[in-house]
Chain A
Amino acid sequence: MTLDINTIVEILSGFCLLIGSFLCISGGVGILRFPDFYTRMHAVGVTDTLAAGMILVGLMLQNPDALVVIKLLMILVMTLFINPTASHALAKAAFHNGLMPVLDDTEILNSKERNKTTDNDLEPK
């Protein structure tokens, strides 16, 4: 079976879109399941940048029009600049305001026993 160039591009595009969508969902799952602010932000930050990038690349491959591709490329470059910066700003603001990352389960247990307060949904596994 021979594959012409169009089919290959189509498959590549579909692959990119699929990966992008999967990363979007995994970011959403991460924000719900991860224990503290920093890990959640990591889930969203990393997957969002990559997911948006993948979806944009997929869309670029879908479209033969050069102008559209250039526009998508500009959006991609902007996303690559802005998303990590926004994550950085968020993490910095949280750290600046004294929010400490949760390091492991024993620490969660200790802090719970010490304070007897459950300020967020940190459940020991």
Chain B
Amino acid sequence: MIGLLIDITLLTLLVGVAIAIARMKDLFAVAMLAGIYGLLTASFFVAMDAVDVAFTEAAVGAGISTLLMFVVITMTGRSEDPVRHKPLLALLVVTITGSLLIFGTLDMPYFGAPDAPIHTHVAPRYINDSMQEVGVINLVTAVLASYRAFDTFGEVVVVFTAGIGVLALLSVARRREDDAVIELVNDSMHEQHLILRIVTKMLIPFILLFALYVQFHGDFGPGGGFQAGVIFASAIFLYALLFGLSTARRVINQSIIRLVAAVGILLYGCVGVVSMLNGGSFLDYNVLSSDPIAGQHLGILLIEWGVGCTVASVMVIIFFNFAGRQEDNQKAQNEEDIDANRAL
């Protein structure tokens, strides 16, 4: 009864937020609401006992993606363009698609029905045998990192490709910045953000520690490489936000972070190749060690580590390039203003 009440409340809030997002013209508020939408979705996942997914959604949907949207808004402008066409046709298409989708769900088995195809196909094997075959307490990690390791490899490749895409589109070669200028900017920000800076300094070590905990505790509880990578990246974002991009660039070397992104995915692939060389199939961890269970543990540890490295560095690459672009725009604007003043 209480579960039903929570479900109804959360879904109502979700619909409300979605309508608000569609109706708002102020993109800053829309980005804010998108973060709230992510948080509500995460709560809904928790209510549905999908803690791992909720974790990812809370870290990515409510945290990182909101921040990236803000960075983009600083480049594109804050308010939505006025709509020139009539939205009636779009509304019609959406209504028809929605009704067809709802019609499609009528044939589907009820939520949680034991005879649903999804519960009779491979799920029984995962649930019954994963403890003997993989030996990892968290079933989600066993499925994600061992049974479905190849799919996860694909996901990491997608993340890596996104990083490469951002680099190819937005990356600009920048000359080495003057240390004195960085110091000056740093000092001017220090007055402005004193309290935030001090609290951030206190929190960042704990955020990084928590990221490592999530990374290595994924076998026993919710967590794993994706979540850990995003949390790790968010600590670096926080630093960059409060101490300036240039200072953060000195802490996080850009060429090293690109190397780490590539090394992470290489590590994942190499685990697969090594298992092939040892006589198994691609990403079959049983052959990595003399004991199959130990091999599974080693394989999962290594690929999660690879996932964590790639996700964290790709997030950092995306953020730094988006924010760096904005910084360059501002500099160019300032120089133009100065030139214009001189001309006058």
Interface residues of A (CB under 8 A from B): 78, 81-82, 85, 88-89
Contacts and interface: CB of A to CB of B under 8 A. Distances in A.
A78 B199 CA distance: 10
Contacts of B206: 78
B203 A81 contact: yes
Contact of B195 (A78, A82, A85): A85
Interface in B77-92: none
Contacts of A85: 195-196, 199
A78 B204 CA distance: 12
Interface size on B, as a range, is under 10
Contacts, number: 13
A89 B202 contact: no
A82 B203 contact: yes
13 contacts: A78-B203, A78-B206, A81-B199, A81-B202, A81-B203, A82-B199, A82-B203, A85-B195, A85-B196, A85-B199, A88-B195, A88-B196, A89-B196
A81 B202 CA distance: 9
Contacts of A88: 195-196
Interface string B172-215: 00000000000000000000000110010011001000000000
A85 B242 CA distance: 13
B219 to A, nearest CB: 18
Tell me what chain A mostly uses at the interface: helix, strand, loop, or mixed.
helix
A36 to B, nearest CB: 19
Contacts of B202: 81
A82 B238 CA distance: 13
Nearest to A88: B195
Interface of B: 195-196, 199, 202-203, 206
Nearest to B242: A89
Would you list the 5 A-B pairs with minimal beta carbon distance, nearest first? A85-B199, A88-B195, A89-B196, A81-B199, A85-B196
A88 B193 CA distance: 10
Contacts of A78: 203, 206
Nearest to A77: B206
Given A81-B202, A88-B195, A88-B196, 10 more contacts: A78-B203, A78-B206, A81-B199, A81-B203, A82-B199, A82-B203, A85-B195, A85-B196, A85-B199, A89-B196
Nearest to B195: A88
B196 to A, nearest CB: 6
B242 to A, nearest CB: 10
A78 B203 CA distance: 8
A110 B206 CA distance: 50
A88 B202 CA distance: 16
A88 B199 CA distance: 11
Nearest to A74: B206
Nearest to A81: B199
A88 B196 CA distance: 8
A43 B196 CA distance: 21
Contacts of A89: 196
**Which of A78, A82, A85, A88 has the largest number of chain B CB atoms within 10 A?**
A85
Contacts of B195: 85, 88
A82 B206 CA distance: 13
Nearest to B206: A78
A84 to B, nearest CB: 9
A119 to B, nearest CB: 15
B9 to A, nearest CB: 15
A63 B75 CA distance: 49
Nearest to B200: A85
A31 to B, nearest CB: 15
Nearest to B199: A85
A82 B195 CA distance: 11
Nearest to B196: A89
A78 B209 CA distance: 14
A108 to B, nearest CB: 25
B190 to A, nearest CB: 14
Contacts of B196: 85, 88-89
A63 to B, nearest CB: 18
A64 to B, nearest CB: 21
Nearest to A85: B199
